[in-house]
């Protein structure tokens, strides 16, 4: 049975528009929102974020805070304060090119992030934290090129395996990348719990199964150890397939594995359904995917994002935004 219906809310910079947005989300059948808080939101538009939390709670919606950016989570765009203030401290590809993401093996970044996260949690008082797609930065030539090959990673690899870190993606390197993200996530989810962050949701990216598998393209080759992290309450993934190079099986295969693992470890599963990058004619697939996620066993169904982010050209596939939102509303209505 689906216990939570969620939509990602990028938000409004004008607090006067927030009550109507939240009402529309609630009227769509949602029981919670995932509110993005990147560096730009935090350092420039904090009042708007506080207004969103207050209005959502006023209208009986839970708020899960998404550190959308902040060095290593999801997209580093529109701002990446830590790399900006600490040049030379980002993840590095094996060809020597610096990336925009911070490295989970950088102790200074971990210290900095905890300071920022603690302040955000205290100020915004969310119902939970949505730890959004922590990753090593993928490379278009993966597995020929990969991250991270910074000095911190090389030092930690030498400590773990007793030899220099190679530039080829060996089995030991694959293990090291996963171990690094696992260690980092254990530490920050524990920090979130201890500092009033509430429910902890961990969202990890999916991958292609079968002959053309791109497993561990972002540094993780098995969800299983991450689901077992003590301070992770809910596991989440986002097998987007509507448009692009993925197909329906990509959604089914990833959802099925996530359901099986969450049942094994007795933790709820949240499945995200794509409502951005929708091309014309594919709008009904949103509703179909939402309903199928529930049928397959998702405990929580979420949609990225509110009205398909109508102002975001980068996420615009040309689909009808009004129809996209209508499909979301119909999908939530049919999910019991």
pLDDT in tens, 201-217: 999 999 998 888 899 99
Which tens digits make up the pLDDT trace of 270-316?
999 999 999 999 999 999 999 999 999 999 999 999 999 888 888 88
Predicted local distance difference test score (pLDDT) of residue 75: 78
Predicted local distance difference test score (pLDDT) of residue 125: 98
243 vs 333: which has the higher pLDDT? 333
| DSSP per position, 92-133 | EBTTS-EEEEEPTT-HHHHHHHHHHHHHHHHHH--SEEEEE-
The predicted model scores a pTM of: 0.96
Predicted local distance difference test score (pLDDT) of residue 3: 98
Q: Answer whether residue 63 is part of any domain.
A: yes
User: Rounded to an integer, what distance in angstroms lies between the CA atom of residue 264 and that of residue 244?
Assistant: 32
Based on C-alpha coordinates, what's the Rg of the chain? 19
Q: Answer whether residue 153 is part of any domain.
A: no
Predicted local distance difference test score (pLDDT) of residue 168: 97
**How many folded domains does the chain comprise?**
1
Predicted local distance difference test score (pLDDT) of residue 332: 98
CATH of the domain at 295: 3.20.20.80
Domain range enclosing 113: 4-137+179-334
User: Is residue 173 predicted with pLDDT exceeding 80?
Assistant: yes
Q: Answer whether residue 167 is part of any domain.
A: no
User: Rounded to an integer, what distance in angstroms lies between the CA atom of residue 260 and that of residue 323?
Assistant: 33
Q: Answer whether residue 156 is part of any domain.
A: no
- Of 271, 267, 181, the closest CA to residue 232 belongs to 267
Residue the block writes with tokens 């129809």: 323
Which tens digits make up the pLDDT trace of 22-53?
999 999 999 999 999 998 899 999 999 999 99
Positive or negative, the CA dihedral 213, 218, 224, 227 is negative
Q: DSSP alpha helices (H): ranges in the chain?
A: 18-27, 39-44, 46-58, 81-85, 107-124, 151-161, 171-194, 224-227, 248-264, 284-296, 321-334
Q: Answer whether residue 212 is part of any domain.
A: yes
User: Is residue 69 predicted with pLDDT exceeding 90?
Assistant: no
Q: Answer whether residue 199 is part of any domain.
A: yes
- CB of 6 closer than 8 Å to CB of 270: yes
Q: Answer whether residue 300 is part of any domain.
A: yes
Q: Answer whether residue 236 is part of any domain.
A: yes
Give me the chain's average pLDDT, please.
Answer: 95
User: Is residue 78 predicted with pLDDT exceeding 70?
Assistant: no
User: Is residue 76 predicted with pLDDT exceeding 80?
Assistant: no
Per-residue tokens: 110: 């971990």
User: Rounded to an integer, what distance in angstroms lies between the CA atom of residue 36 and that of residue 42?
Assistant: 10
Q: What is the mean pLDDT of residues 11-17?
A: 92
Rounded (to 5) percent helix, strand, coil in the chain: 45, 15, 40
209 burial type by CB count under 10 A (0-12 exposed, 13-18 middle, 19+ buried) = middle
């Amino acid at each position: 049975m689906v216990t939570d219906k969620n939509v990602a809310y990028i938000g409004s910079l004008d607090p006067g528009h927030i009550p109507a947005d939240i009402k529309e989300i609630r009227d769509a059948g949602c029981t919670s929102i995932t509110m993005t808080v990147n560096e730009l939101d935090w350092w420039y538009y904090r009042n708007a974020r506080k207004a969103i939390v207050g209005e959502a709670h006023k209208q009986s919606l839970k708020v899960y805070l998404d550190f959308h950016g902040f060095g290593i989570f999801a997209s580093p765009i529109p701002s990446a304060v830590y790399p900006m203030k600490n040049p030379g401290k980002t993840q590095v590809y094996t060809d020597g090119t610096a990336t925009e993401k911070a490295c989970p093996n950088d102790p200074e970044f971990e210290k900095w992030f905890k300071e920022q996260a603690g302040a955000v949690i205290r100020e915004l008082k969310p119902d939970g934290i949505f730890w959004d797609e922590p990753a090593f930065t993928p490379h278009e030539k993966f597995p020929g090129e990969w991250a991270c090959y910074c000095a911190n990673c090389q030092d930690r690899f030498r400590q773990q395996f007793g030899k220099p870190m190679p530039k080829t993606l060996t089995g030991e390197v694959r293990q090291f990348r996963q171990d690094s993200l696992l260690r980092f996530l254990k530490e920050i989810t524990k920090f979130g719990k201890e500092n009033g962050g509430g429910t902890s949701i961990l969202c990890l990216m999916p991958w292609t199964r079968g002959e053309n598998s791109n497993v561990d393209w972002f540094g993780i080759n098995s969800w299983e150890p991450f689901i077992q992290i003590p301070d992770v309450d809910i596991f989440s993934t986002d097998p987007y397939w509507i448009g692009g190079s993925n197909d329906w099986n990509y959604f089914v295969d990833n959802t099925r594995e996530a359901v099986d693992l969450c049942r094994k470890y007795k933790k709820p599963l949240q499945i995200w359904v794509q409502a951005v990058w929708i091309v014309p004619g594919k709008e009904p697939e949103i509703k179909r995917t939402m309903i199928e996620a529930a049928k397959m066993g998702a405990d929580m169904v979420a949609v990225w994002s509110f009205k398909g982010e109508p102002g975001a050209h980068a996420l615009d596939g040309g689909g009808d935004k009004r129809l996209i939102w209508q499909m979301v509303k119909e999908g939530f209505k049919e999910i019991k």
